[in-house]
């Protein structure tokens, strides 16, 4: 596993990378800016990070921690968010229209103007154990 403690990512583009269990929450936050395209980021952490406007495109994000992160206007384009954790996360204006397998509780997260396709509604109602279909 790569050690990224105190690493500085300023306008970095990751493409076709396999980065499992990465602790992005331990890198430098000053001018933090990156995009991810066709990356496998399973088991990684973005805990408490402010990554407004970040693009995740065609990424695997299984069991990724987004607790207390600021994901304002983040785009999850064609991403798989299986068992990823969203708790006290700011998802204002985030785009999840083509994302799959996410579970986000609107009562525990800020979801104002978040974009979700009709097929994603079950991911917002999961805690209510409803049978939708």
| CATH code: domain of residue 53 | 2.160.20.80
> How many domains does the chain divide into?
1
- Does 131 reside within a domain? no
Residue of 94, 98, 88 lying closest to 118 (CA atoms): 98
pLDDT tens digits, the chain, 133 residues: what are they? Answer: 567 888 888 889 999 999 999 999 999 989 899 999 999 999 999 999 999 999 999 999 999 999 999 999 999 999 999 999 999 999 999 999 999 999 999 999 999 999 999 888 778 877 766 666 6
pLDDT at res. 125: 72
Q: Is 15 helix (H, G, I), strand (E, B) or coil?
A: strand
pLDDT at res. 121: 77
- Within a 10 A sphere around the Cβ of 8, how many other Cβ atoms? 12
* Domain hosting residue 86, numbered range: 1-122
pLDDT at res. 1: 58
- Does 87 reside within a domain? yes
- Does 70 reside within a domain? yes
- Does 133 reside within a domain? no
pLDDT at res. 47: 97
- Does 129 reside within a domain? no
User: Are the C-beta atoms of residues 62 and 43 closer than 8 Å to each other?
Assistant: yes
pLDDT at res. 34: 94
28 vs 77: CA distance, rounded Å: 25
- Does 4 reside within a domain? yes
- Does 130 reside within a domain? no
6 vs 4: CA distance, rounded Å: 6
116 vs 74: CA distance, rounded Å: 13
């Amino acid at each position: 596993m790569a050690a990224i403690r105190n690493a500085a990512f300023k306008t970095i583009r990751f493409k076709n990378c396999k980065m499992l269990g990465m602790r992005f929450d331990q890198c430098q936050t000053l001018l933090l800016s990156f995009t991810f395209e066709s990356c496998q980021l399973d088991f990684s952490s973005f805990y408490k990070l402010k990554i407004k406007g970040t693009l995740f495109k065609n990424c695997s994000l299984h069991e990724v921690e987004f607790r207390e992160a600021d994901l304002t206007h983040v785009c999850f384009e064609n991403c798989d968010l299986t068992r990823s954790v969203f708790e006290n996360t700011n998802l204002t204006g985030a785009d999840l229209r083509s994302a799959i397998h996410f579970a986000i509780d609107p009562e525990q997260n800020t979801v104002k103007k978040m974009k979700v396709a009709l097929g994603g509604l079950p991911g917002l109602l999961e805690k209510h154990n409803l049978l939708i279909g």
